[in-house]
Amino acid sequence: MTSTASVLVTGASGFLGGHLTQTLVQQGLTPRIFIRPNSRRATLPLDKVEVIEGDLRDADALKKAVSGVSLVYHCAATMKGSKAEFFESNVQGTQQLLAAAQSAGVQRFMHVSSVAVYGPGQKTIIREEEGYDPFPQQRGYYTWTKIESDRLSLQFAKEQNFPVTVLRPGIIYGPGTKPFFARLHYNLKGKAHIVIGQPNALLPLVFVKSVVAALLLAGEKPLSPFSVYNVVDGAIRQGDLLERQAEAMQKRVRPVYLPPRFVGIGAMALETVYRLLRRGSPALSRYRVQRACQSLAHDTTKARKELGWRPEISLPEGLQQTWQWWTQHRAASPTV
Ligand SMILES: NC(=O)c1ccc[n+]([C@@H]2O[C@H](COP(=O)([O-])OP(=O)(O)OC[C@H]3O[C@@H](n4cnc5c(N)ncnc54)[C@H](OP(=O)(O)O)[C@@H]3O)[C@@H](O)[C@H]2O)c1
């Protein structure tokens, strides 16, 4: 294959991968992007990238994708599907991509993980050395497979002495996706926002361009073979976030906060029904509700010191940009 691409972006048709691809192109690079045959490509600069079509479940396509590149930004991850689809794409797919990258002589592999991998712990500020959630199977297939792919990426790095950097972003927001209101919430036709959780629960938010900046910095620096970084702009109280959103939207938002234990009772009933029918675990479990409503703040000292990373934008400005994008594009973007 004749190619000028030195970097590969998986998941380039997605929110984060799309922003990363645009930034690499703006820097004058011609990245190679790995997207599925049916992936949306309307916003991708197709004349300035090299496209390899394939699926994370296709080992041959992954080998083709990594051939000749020195840096892999692995942003792809399945967000919906059956248990098999989640495990085949997010866990086995990551394993196969790592093996293909190592065989192809890739010099650094950036794995996009999530702060969702951490356990409940007692700490108010979570550092990278905090352990994984001990009950991943109770967190839903997405988080479960993000935990397993984070774990296996670091294990592969250590066993194979292969340079892997794991970035753990918080909740990513920004132009290109729906405005974020709360982890668990329902909008009653714009009249009221039912929020499950407390107004003082802290949410770890990160602007999409802050994550792109961390990826680019980590791709440039000589780092230890297996480095892990939290990437969070800051923690904001859920109640304050709703107020900021209302300001950005110039609308009144009336939140109604439901204590998590109310929803926990419903989840418990669901768990009982599933147990009686021997159907495994329901998507909504008490543990999942408890974790989703937890107040979380993450320490980013490591990314600041070792990468020289800083948040790209203030929260009010980020929310404003997101809302502007959303009002202009929501009609044209049925999938977001
Ligand atoms: N968004 C957040 O708040 C957040 C927070 C923490 C971490 N993350 C992580 O950040 C990364 C990017 O997330 P995002 O928000 O950009 O998600 P997204 O918009 O849903 O993008 C996911 C990307 O993965 C691709 N993909 C999914 N399954 C695939 C498969 N089997 N084979 C090949 N490609 C596949 C999708 O392709 P299609 O376009 O074809 O569907 C899409 O390009 C993920 O690893 C996610 O876990 C996200």
Q: Given this model, what pLDDT does residue 333 score?
A: 54
Task: Quick: pLDDT tens for 59-104.
Answer: 999 999 999 999 999 999 999 999 999 999 999 999 999 999 999 9
Q: Given this model, what pLDDT does residue 332 score?
A: 63
Q: Name the residue with the closest Cα to ligand 1, atom 18.
A: 14
The vertex-103 CA angle with 96 and 89, nearest 5°, equals: 10
User: Ligand 1: does its nearest atom lie under 6 Å from the Cβ of 31?
Assistant: no
CA 281 to chain centre: 23
Q: Pick the more confident residue, 233 or 246.
A: 233
Of 253, 239, 225, 237, which is closest to residue 323 (Cα–Cα)? 253
Give yes or no for residue 334 having a pLDDT over 90. no
**Topology of domain 7-175+203-234+297-329, per CATH?**
Rossmann fold (3.40.50)
Beta bridge partners of 140: none
Q: Is 142 exposed, middle or buried (0-12, 13-18, 19+ CB in 10 A)?
A: middle
User: Ligand 1: does its nearest atom lie under 6 Å from the Cβ of 146?
Assistant: yes
Contact 255, 245 (CB under 8 A): no
User: Ligand 1: does its nearest atom lie under 6 Å from the Cβ of 55?
Assistant: yes
Q: Given this model, what pLDDT does residue 282 score?
A: 72
CA 215 / ligand 1 centre spacing (Å): 15
Q: Given this model, what pLDDT does residue 190 score?
A: 67
Q: Given this model, what pLDDT does residue 335 score?
A: 44
Predicted TM-score (pTM) of the model is 0.93
Give yes or no for residue 263 having a pLDDT over 60. yes
Give yes or no for residue 1 having a pLDDT over 70. no
- Which own/partner pairs from 179-188 qualify as long-range (CB within 8 Å, at least 24 positions apart)? 179/245, 179/248, 179/249, 179/319, 179/322, 179/323, 179/326, 180/205, 180/241, 180/322, 181/241, 181/242, 181/245, 182/238, 182/241, 182/242, 182/255, 183/292, 183/293, 184/263, 184/289, 184/292, 184/293
**Residue spans of alpha helices (H) in the chain:** 15-26, 59-66, 83-86, 93-103, 141-160, 208-220, 238-249, 260-276, 286-292, 301-302, 315-329
pLDDT band for position 57 (50/70/90)? Answer: very high
Q: Given this model, what pLDDT does residue 193 score?
A: 83
CA 241 / ligand 1 centre spacing (Å): 24
Q: Which of 139-143, 216-220, 245-249 has the lowest mean pLDDT?
A: 245-249
Give 197's contacts (C-beta < 8 A, 6+ positions apart): 182, 183, 184, 238, 257, 258, 260, 292, 293
CA 323 / ligand 1 centre spacing (Å): 21
User: Ligand 1: does its nearest atom lie under 6 Å from the Cβ of 17?
Assistant: yes
Give yes or no for residue 250 having a pLDDT over 90. no
CA 121 / ligand 1 centre spacing (Å): 27
Q: What whole-number distance in Å separates Cα of residue 76 and Cα of residue 78?
A: 7
Calculate what percentage of the chain has a pLDDT beyond 70: 97
Q: What is the mean pLDDT of residues 189-193?
A: 73
Give 62's contacts (C-beta < 8 A, 6+ positions apart): 34, 54, 56, 93, 96, 97, 100
Q: Name the residue with the closest Cα to ligand 1, atom 33.
A: 55
Average pLDDT for the chain: 91
Give yes or no for residue 12 having a pLDDT over 60. yes
Q: What is the mean pLDDT of residues 7-19?
A: 98
User: Ligand 1: does its nearest atom lie under 6 Å from the Cβ of 15?
Assistant: yes
Residue in this structure with the two tokens 């497979």, named with its chain if needed? 145
Q: Pick the more confident residue, 178 or 103.
A: 103
Q: Name the residue with the closest Cα to ligand 1, atom 21.
A: 14
Q: What whole-number distance in Å separates Cα of residue 317 and Cα of residue 319?
A: 5
Q: What whole-number distance in Å separates Cα of residue 183 and Cα of residue 160?
A: 37
pLDDT band for position 336 (50/70/90)? Answer: very low
